[in-house]
Each structure stands twice: as structure tokens, then as C-alpha cells.
Structure 1
Amino acid sequence: MSDLIHYTETEHAITLRFDNGKVNVLSPAMIAAINEALDRAEAAPFKAVIFTGREGMLSGGYDLGVMQQGGMAAVRDMVDAGSRLTRRMLAFPKPIIAACNGHAIAKGAFLLLASDYRIGVEGEYKISLNEVAIGLTMHHAGIELCRGRLAPVYFNRAMINAEVFNPVAAVDAGFLDKTVANEEALQQEAAAMAQHMATLNANAFAATKVKARKQHLDALDWAIEEDKKA
């Protein structure tokens, strides 16, 4: 297992703690490490997977170094891998809980949108899709992920206007399902939800998740292919 991901397993949950430097950038290596961890989790007995980050930071998004230095082919490959990761999360046969303990920017916010249940610790950190603000046209897969998971009234505000949300406002927007007071409560709430989800029927959960999201997943498949042509 890569040093970029701390993988721990308890009776009811598998926790993947991101540890890729100060802002937990989603570099190609980080995306590969998350997929490797999900492979291991998928082979384990049925239990929830908890995504969490360093204190104060879930993820600051894609690695800008790749965007600035790697050329368009490298950028396209990284974004394609990231889109396929979030598509995998949406269809993953086990529950995915996001325990958001800090900033979730750009692709970091998309990780929230791709998780089944999202808990945020209260605080002054930011949840934002900042692509338009930094001069990037939103890719098709990002648009479809927003369309499928954000509250409709916030769809344009979050994506086109690049509005920045605090954790409480992020619940209304659809990035989070609830907030808790502090880091300790965040871990307790994630563990409690994982314990509940471990009681679900594994086959029924996996089949219902894919069936309920079929239109969304089909739209993402189309979007990912369109982005490769861009």
C-alpha cells in the first residue's frame, strides 16, 4: 500500500486517510493509490469505507504541477483517471463515507459528491468548485457529477459561479449531509454510520446503488468519453 494512503481496518469500517503533503493534491500517483486501496477494500468483507484527510484538509484538488508542466496529454490523462475514480465511487459495491475535516476544493469537492454519506466538521474551511475562478472550463464529467448530486438551486451557483461554501452552507448545497462540532465528533459519527451500514445486506446494497444511479452513471460514461475527445 502506498504511503500516500493510510489504510486501517476495524470491525465495521475501512478508513483511507489521505496524506499527500500539505494540501493532499490528487496527483496521478495519489489517484492510483486510492484505486489500489479501493481494490483492497472491495476484496474485504462487507463494511463501509471512510475517506478522510489531514487535519484541516481533505484535498485541494488536482496537482497543478501536472497542469503547468506536464502538457495537455498529461492533464487529460490525470483528469480522465480522476473522473473514472469518482465514477467508480458512485458504483462501488460497499458504502463510502466521507469524513470531511477540512478544505475540499475542486476535485476534493468532487470526492464529496461521489460519496454515499458525507459528514463535515464545523469550521472556517472552504468547499468549492473553483475551476471557473482559476480559468478552467468545467469538464463534462464534472458537470454531470454536479447535476446528479447537488441540490438543483445550487447547481449553477456552485459550478458556473464558483461559489465558496462553508460547511453549514455545504449541507444545503448538497456537498455534505450533516456537520458535527469537532474532529472527535466527526470520527465518532463516521464510525456510527459505518456500524449502521455494516448491518445492510451486501448484495441488496450494491444492486440498489447501481440501479438507483443508472441514469447518472450512464451520463458520466458519456461525459468521460467526451472529455477524452476535448
Structure 2
Amino acid sequence: MRAAAPEVVAPQELEALCRKLQAQMPTGVALAMTRAGGDLPAIYPAESAAMTRAVPRRVAEFTAGRAAARMALSQLGVAPVAIPMGSDRAPVWPSGLCGSISHMDDLCIAVAAREGNIAALGIDVESAGALDADLMPSIATSLELRRMGGAPSLAAKRLFSAKEAAYKAQYPLSRRVFGFHTLGLAERQADTLTFRFSEEVPPFVAGSRIVVRQWETAGLCLSLSVLRR
């Protein structure tokens, strides 16, 4: 469902953008950014099995994502470690740690935290442009778009990113796959969006809330969900 997006962050701006976002992370959450195709360490043997049949672009994206994840973990004092892909294609984080990885074109971003009062994380990055009109009905209801405000196509893109982050955050706990309308936007306060489950998705009951914080900067829409115990 992702549409191609132009390069929105020049390589020389990446470090400054990363520092800016790191300063806005909640306590205990580390963030790192990389670019696919750069001078990055090779993936670990435990990770390479997932890339056996992948095309070069996907290998570059995967390599950059794992590099960003290890950079985020290093901020928590964790030595470099493999982050293999599980049978459900989700990253398998080291015991006692949680995290999330997102890609947009050649830009990769990862967040990580030590499990404790944080149970799971979800991160998503998109271009800040409009969402294709034919995708909007599958992403958001008219009520959700009104709650977001602004141009519907831009509101739909922000909702797409926020729901992706919320879905990623809940997945390690539920291991359930569901559509965008299972999480409905209940409230928006500035850069904070609150979603509610429209149905039971164990361990979440219908009506359970997931909060997402969202930033728009440097042509990007970045969404982060932190699930606390």
C-alpha cells in the first residue's frame, strides 16, 4: 500500500534530523536513522537467511534497518547483536528489549527500549505528501478525517502513518493481523492521536486505547507509539 516517495532528507541533513528527533523521544526510548546503500556493516549470519531470495534493493533496505536498530540498541548500552526475522517476518529483538523498524525509500529508522515499564514500540515513517485518493477509504473513515482536520488526502496520510505505528506496537503482544479500521481515531490533541480498538484483539479488549505521537519535519511524517505496562 506504500506509494513511492521522493528523497526528502539529503544525506548531509540526516545526522541533524536524527539528533532533533532523539531529543524528542520519551524517556528510555532510543532512536537511530540510516540510509540504505551507504557504508554500513554487513548483516549477521543469523539475519542473512531471511535475505536468501531477496532482490538487491530489499537487501540494502534490510541491512540499513538492522544497522539502525543496532545503533539504537547501542544507545541503551547493548553490544552489537543479531536481530533475525521471525517466521511472521517481524524482527526478533534480544531478550529484555523491544523495538521497531521502519523504511521509506532509502531512509531507515529504528527505535528501541529496555522492557520494564515499556512493553512494546511501534515506529513508522512516510513522506508528508498526500495519500492516493483510491487508498483513502481503506485507511480512514470520514469521521476520522474530520477529526484530523486539514485536506483529506493529507489527513489520510497522517492517519496511515499513525495506524501503522499503532499496529506495529500492538503486534508483539497480540500476534494478530488486522485491517486499518480495527483501530479507530477517537481523539486528536495537537500531535497526539488516540486510537481505540473496535473489536477484541487479545490481550486488548474492545475499546482499549493506543496513543501515537506524530511529527512532521523535513518532508517526513513520523509516528511513534509507546505501549507501557
More strand by share: 2
The TM-score with structure 1 as length reference comes to 0.29
More helix by share: 1
The TM-score with structure 2 as length reference comes to 0.29
